[in-house]
Every structure is written in C-alpha cells, then in structure tokens.
C-alpha cells in the first residue's frame, strides 16, 4: 500500500508496509527535517523530474560492512601511488552536480533522479553538517566522488561518479577505510557495488544497525 504524505506533518508510515518494490509513500517535501526523519527510519526519496516525491523503503538492503570491502591488488597499488588526491567535504556541490550529469549521460537522456530540487535539498543538509562528500582529484580536476548522509555511524550513500577509471572506487574504499562507520548503506544493488563487497541484508537487520547508538 502506498501512503500519501501531508506536507504539514513530519510523519512516515511503518517502513515494513512498503510495496514489494519498496515504494512506501508519495508526496511531502524535501525539507531537512523530513529527510533526516526519513533516513532515520530507513526511508529515502527517489523520483524523476516532474514526478511527485516518491519515498522508498526496500525490504532488502544493499550494504557494505567496511571491514569486508574488497580491494584488488591493482586498486591497492593505485591508492598507495598518489595517483589520486582524496579530500572530504571540500566540493560537495560539485560532487552532487557531477553525479547528476553522469547519471544523465548513463541513461542517454536529459532526465536524472538527482533533480535540481534534490541537489538543493542535499546542499542544505551539507550546510547543516548532515550530508558529506568524498572528492577524488587529479591535480586540480575533480574526477570522482560520492555523497551521502550520516545517521548513527551509518553512511547512507546516495550516489557516486567517476570521470576516469577507478576514481569512484577510490572514493568508496577511502570511505570504508576511514573506520568511522559501522555500515555503508548503498540502498539498491548494482554490479559495480557487488565487486566492492556489497551484500543484501533484510530491512529489519538494517534498521537494527541504523538505530544503534554509537
């Protein structure tokens, strides 16, 4: 069953009531307070330009436990070589804009789920210290990165991009190796994530980890 949200009420239905495809609710807004409440309950927005806001809570979650991240020998050499310079929270707006551009190119169309409204919403979260980015540089050129939110030491990843080979991998592995997080939430699986050690866990297990303090 899909629930309609009231813009005046910061309230979500129980995530376990989501449809088989994970769709839980429609409507509401992208204000920081609502987004934080959503992520704290394992819910995230995912919709296209011109569509109403759709909120998802998948019954299985794609995650990476940081100590299980897979790093190939060649990737380990790249990280040690200084081939990339990796920073954090130095170019958040550039990272999210680049993710949107790469998403459009990948789909071969003008559309992307990282809409203008979504970009503005997450930039507001970043300004409040709630959304974070990892940047990958070659000299002064931004060539890769990722962004997401941090909830109780779970990094809720939103998107990543790469303009040169291995740049997004470098960002992701750096995130895992920071030892700051007990879990990296990737939301939905794809072949790239699976090569990095992603696995599927039940939503109930994900929510238990998400709600653990410290």
The residue ranges of every structural domain in the chain are: 3-59, 62-202
Q: Which fold has domain 3-59?
A: Alpha-Beta Plaits (3.30.70)
Global pTM?
A: 0.92
Q: Which of 35, 183, 178, 176 is nearest to 117 (CA)?
A: 35
- Specify whether the CB–CB gap between 77 and 207 falls below 8 A: no
pLDDT at residue number 118: 94
Q: Residue holding tokens 């794809």? A: 190
Q: Could you read off the pLDDT tens digit of each residue along the chain, which spans 214 residues?
A: 789 998 888 899 999 999 999 999 999 999 999 999 999 999 999 998 888 999 999 999 999 999 999 999 999 999 999 999 999 999 999 999 999 987 654 444 455 789 999 999 999 999 999 999 999 999 999 999 999 999 999 999 999 999 999 999 999 999 999 999 999 999 999 898 999 999 999 999 999 999 997 6
pLDDT at residue number 7: 82
**CATH number for the domain whose boundaries are 62-202:** 3.40.630.70
At 100, which helix (H) or strand (E)?
Answer: helix 92-107
């Amino acid at each position: 069953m899909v629930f309609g949200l009231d813009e005046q009420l910061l309230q979500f239905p129980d995530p376990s009531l989501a449809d088989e495809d994970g769709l839980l609710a429609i409507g509401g807004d992208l204000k920081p307070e609502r987004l934080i409440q959503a992520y704290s309950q394992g819910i995230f927005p995912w919709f296209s330009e011109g569509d109403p806001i759709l909120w998802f809570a998948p019954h299985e979650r794609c995650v990476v436990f940081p100590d299980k991240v897979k790093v190939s020998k060649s990737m380990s050499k790249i990280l040690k070589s200084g081939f990339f310079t990796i920073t954090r929270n130095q170019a958040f707006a550039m990272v999210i804009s680049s993710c949107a551009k790469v998403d459009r190119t990948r789909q071969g169309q003008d559309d992307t789920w990282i809409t203008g409204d979504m970009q503005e919403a997450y930039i507001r979260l970043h300004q409040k210290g709630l959304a974070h980015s990892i940047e990958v540089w070659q000299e002064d050129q931004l060539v890769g990165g990722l962004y997401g939110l941090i909830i109780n030491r779970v990094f809720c990843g939103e998107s990543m991009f790469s303009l040169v080979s291995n740049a997004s991998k470098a960002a992701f592995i750096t995130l895992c190796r920071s030892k700051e997080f007990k879990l990296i939430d990737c939301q939905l699986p794809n072949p790239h994530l699976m090569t990095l050690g992603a696995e599927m866990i039940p939503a109930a297990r994900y929510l238990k980890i998400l709600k653990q303090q410290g």
